[in-house]
């Protein structure tokens, strides 16, 4: 892939809606990928005729930030922007019409990322959609679409993201802190476990003076329940602190699951088993737990953000996911 794969980034469109995105907070990966792709010299080609795929550089986050009125709530602003953009590049270049969008990709970490593709049927049905919100019940298709992780870079800083304590210093069995009113799965976690058992510490708001990252470092397992949407930044936060992620979700295609064996470094708990959570975690042997922690350490590099990007980091994993979906498609001129 590193030797062969070439990506053409359409130059049409101007910041802030195109070629730009926020590089901090919960949607940081959308802006960071855009930024890295703009500066890339390994995969990016300026000759569209030698490209294997074509990137549509619109930012759903920026479209909503600059055009969406939270009072009027007219979602047509997203429709007009995406439809117009595909119209421009399909009229100017032959590549979209040649493949009916199959060798094109978009990327979004916003909850409405999938919605942005509804308005152009070829983009929705044919193109590679790289999404944080990788929900099969909302027609995410893992055969052609790619899941990538939600990473909450609160300040935008990408240094010192990882920290840990050895397993012997982790005194808390399981930990979660987050908004109760953020989807049905979280509500079930709070119902069954908040204030019920000292081994499973559940908070809507941490007490004053208690550090979120320190709590993760002190915990053997970090609960990662879905909110309103399937993706959760807590999965990566857990990996950064070498806390074994406990993923509680439905219909979620996990990031990079083409190549990562999630069962080797995380626990997946069905929603129907939330009431049995402690028994599930206590039933994991010390030997298996130690192996999982070691595997968390091994996969950490695949979720790290580097500037400039490094081999096997999150940027290159996203590129690899797109590469895999392009491999078995033959485009006829």
Q: What is the mean pLDDT of residues 148-159?
A: 95
Q: What is the mean pLDDT of residues 231-244?
A: 97
**Quick one: which H or E segment has residue 317?**
helix 314-327
Rounded to two decimals, the pTM is 0.96
Quick one: how far is CA 181 from the chain centroid?
A: 22
Where residue 71 falls among pLDDT bands split at 50, 70, 90? confident
Residue 332 has pLDDT above 80, yes or no: no
Where residue 327 falls among pLDDT bands split at 50, 70, 90? confident
Nearest-Å Rg of the Cα atoms of the chain is 21
Q: Which pLDDT belongs to residue 328?
A: 76
Q: Is the N-terminal amide bond of 215 cis, ω within 30° of 0?
A: no
The sign one gets for the Cα dihedral 253, 257, 262, 265 is: negative
N-terminal to C-terminal alpha carbon distance within the chain:
23
| φ, ψ of residue 68 in degrees (nearest 5) | -85, 125
Q: Which pLDDT belongs to residue 72?
A: 78
Percent over 70 (pLDDT), the chain:
99
Q: Which pLDDT belongs to residue 119?
A: 96
Cβ pair 23, 36 in contact under 8 A: no
Q: Which pLDDT belongs to residue 228?
A: 93
Q: Which pLDDT belongs to residue 75?
A: 80
- Which residues have C-beta within 8 Å of that of residue 33, sequence separation ≥ 6? 21, 107, 315, 318
Q: Is 177 helix (H, G, I), strand (E, B) or coil?
A: strand
Cβ atoms < 10 Å from Cβ of 156: 12
Q: Which pLDDT belongs to residue 58?
A: 98
Q: Which residue, 224, 132, 221, 220, is CA-closest to 177?
A: 224
Domains of the chain, residue spans: 7-156+307-328, 172-303
Quick one: how far is CA 110 from the chain centroid?
A: 9
Where residue 189 falls among pLDDT bands split at 50, 70, 90? very high
Where residue 120 falls among pLDDT bands split at 50, 70, 90? very high
Q: Which pLDDT belongs to residue 333?
A: 62
Q: Which pLDDT belongs to residue 329?
A: 79
In the structure encoding, which two tokens stand for residue 3, read together? 């030797």
Output the CATH code of domain 172-303: 3.40.50.2000
Per-residue pLDDT reduced to its tens digit, 19-61? 999 999 999 999 999 999 999 999 999 999 999 999 999 999 9
Up-side HSE of residue 297: CA atoms within 13 Å toward CB? 11
Phi-psi region of 38 (alpha: psi -120 to 50; beta: other; left: phi over 0): alpha
Angle between helical axes of 76-92 and 60-67 (0-180°, round to 10): 130
Q: What is the mean pLDDT of residues 96-100?
A: 96
What is the chain's mean pLDDT, rounded?
96
Cβ pair 245, 128 in contact under 8 A: no
Cβ atoms < 10 Å from Cβ of 252: 23
């Amino acid at each position: 892939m590193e030797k062969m794969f070439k990506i053409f980034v359409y130059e049409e469109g101007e910041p802030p809606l195109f070629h730009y995105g926020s590089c901090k907070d919960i949607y940081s990966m959308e802006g960071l990928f855009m930024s890295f792709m703009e500066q890339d010299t390994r995969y990016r080609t300026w000759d569209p005729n030698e490209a294997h795929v074509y990137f549509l550089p619109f930012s759903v986050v920026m479209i909503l930030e600059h055009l969406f009125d939270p009072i009027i709530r007219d979602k047509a602003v997203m429709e007009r922007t995406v439809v117009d953009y595909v119209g421009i590049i399909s009229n100017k270049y032959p590549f979209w019409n040649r493949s009916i969008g199959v060798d094109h990709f978009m990327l979004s970490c916003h909850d409405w990322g999938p919605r942005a593709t509804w308005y152009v049927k070829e983009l929705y049905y044919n193109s590679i959609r790289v999404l944080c919100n990788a929900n099969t019940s909302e027609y995410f298709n893992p055969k052609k679409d790619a899941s990538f992780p939600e990473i909450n870079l609160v300040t935008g800083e990408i240094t010192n993201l990882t920290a840990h304590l050895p397993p012997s210093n982790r005194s808390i069995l399981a930990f979660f802190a987050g908004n109760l009113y953020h989807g049905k799965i979280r509500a079930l976690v709070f119902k069954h476990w908040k204030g019920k058992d000292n081994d499973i510490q559940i908070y809507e708001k941490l007490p004053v003076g208690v550090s979120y990252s320190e709590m993760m470092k002190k915990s053997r397992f970090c609960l990662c329940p879905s909110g309103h949407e399937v993706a959760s930044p807590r999965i990566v936060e857990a990996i950064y602190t070498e806390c074994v992620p406990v993923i509680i979700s439905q219909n979620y295609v996990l990031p990079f699951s083409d190549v990562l064996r999630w069962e080797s470094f995380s626990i997946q708990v069905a929603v129907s088993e939330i009431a049995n959570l402690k028994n599930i975690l206590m039933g994991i042997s010390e030997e298996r737990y130690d192996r999982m922690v070691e595997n968390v350490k091994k996969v950490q590099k695949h979720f790290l953000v580097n500037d400039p990007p490094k081999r096997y980091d999150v940027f290159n994993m996203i590129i690899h996911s797109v590469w895999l979906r392009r491999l078995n498609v033959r485009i006829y001129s």
